[in-house]
Structure 1
């Protein structure tokens, strides 16, 4: 059973929000309302979606504002920027209308390079869930459930993170100190969690990556040092 990580509101900075209460918090938070209704801002219709990296929104999850006119490729870039990008792998979507983003035989000349220019509102229904796979080898799947549609006024309309899960990085399993453990990957200790000091002895020749706040943590060398920091363009401000 997947563990549950609690979240932090990017409006009021309240922590300890559990996933099933996140939608209600977004609706009631005065600071979120204020930042999404700026005097003189551009009127925009937007989805609110929960984005999660497993079959249920427990471990890695976010509540995100996505303007309805956002192209699919910008949603994809957001997911890569905050959770996925490591080596420029391929992506494929499932559940978008008209087969947008689905895997195609690009070598057979069947790719439509501009198809992801279509607005996300033309590809999903309110209440619907879609998914995106990143990397066709070591695949990470991200799901998006579009649960609400609201009207906002923003100076610079775009995707914004409203609530994001936080993680408690485990103590080093050798010295027990909270030293931001790393993954050490080898045949004998697959993804064992040890700090640099303990791991650089017996395991110094094995691959290692920092534990990140992402469902891709440890896959294909994925590592993001500032994993609690939301990229500036997606911050609620």
Structure 2
């Protein structure tokens, strides 16, 4: 399965930049306007290898808000449980025991610039995301969280003919022949019921996720 260097588009100017260069660009993008208001805004990088995004999150947004955003853009398939782990404390989407900590806590209370933390979705077939707070500034965000930039869909090649893959076989997921173009998918021996679409998410091919 051959893939190219991960790149993405700035949500403000539309320019394309590599994964490593995107933060530097966002810091200087002339089209990016700083939301005015009182409070804190955290610039957070969410990383899952070839899949990544940059977010602004208001300090008054909650972990539940951030969890919902990540579910909506990358993760949600079957209503699985999720959790953040921040400085050794786990914040659960659906606390079960009295001693469990939920996500109804504002970001100002649990994160700060330079801090790294993780998010896990689905504790059966888990998708894990690495998050880092790269900066903080004054301001306010309507809605609490704003997408700044996101990776372009990775160029995944059909393992049979070399054309761009549009489908994957869940039965052959860990083999190069599991990535297929439309034509080869129609000829694949595992059958249509094993096929799932190729989507721009680290959860591609996992559980029932279809984007």
Task: State the TM-score bracket (shorter-chain normalisation).
Answer: 0.7 to 0.9
Alignment correspondent of 2:24:
24
Q: Secondary structure at the match of 1:20?
A: coil
Q: Which is richer in strand?
A: 2
TM-score by length of 1: 0.77
CA displacement, residues 72-112 of structure 1 (integer Å, 9 cap, x when unaligned): 10000011001110111111221257x35159982xx4265
SS at match of 2:55: strand
Structure 1: stretches of 5+ with no match in the other structure: 225-237
TM-score by length of 2: 0.86
* SS of residue matched to 2:20: helix
Matches within 5 A, 1:72-83: 72-83=63-74
SS at match of 1:221: coil
In the alignment, which residue of structure 1 is the partner of 2:47? 52
Structure 1 residue aligned with 2:110, among 123, 144, 169? 123
Task: Compute the displacement of 1:152 (Å).
Answer: 2.9
1:110 to 78, 81, 98: 98
Any runs of at least 4 consecutive aligned residues in structure 1 with deviations exceeding 6 A, and if so which?
Answer: none
Deviation (angstroms), 1:205: 4.5
**C-alpha contact 1:131 1:144 (8 A) present in aligned 2:** yes
Q: Using a 3 Å threshold, how does the CA distance of structure 1 residues 221 and 102 change in structure 2: closer, same or farther?
A: closer
C-alpha distance in 2, partners of 1:151/1:69? 12
Residue by residue, what CA displacement relative to the aligned partner does 1:142-193 show, whole Å, maximum 9, x if unpaired? 1110010012355x25211111111243343334333x42111226975711
d(CA) in 2 for partners of 1:189 and 1:68?
Answer: 40
- Rounded Cα–Cα distance in structure 2 between residues aligned with 1:111 and 1:86: 28
- Which of 126, 138, 158 in structure 2 is aligned with 1:172? 158
Give the aligned length: 207
Is the CA contact 2:81–2:94 (under 8 Å) kept in the aligned structure 1? no
Work out whether residues 196 and 210 of structure 2, in 8 Å CA contact, stay in contact via their aligned partners in 1: yes
Distance 1:167 1:105, change over 3 A: closer
Q: Deviations over 1:58-85 (max 9, x none)?
A: x111111011111110000011001110
Contact persistence 1:53–1:143 (CA under 8 A):
yes
Report 1:75-224 matches (<5 A).
75-96=66-87, 99-101=89-91, 106=96, 109-110=97-98, 115-152=102-139, 156-178=142-164, 180-186=165-171, 190=175, 192-201=178-187, 202-224=189-211
CA RMSD in angstroms, aligned pairs only: 2.7
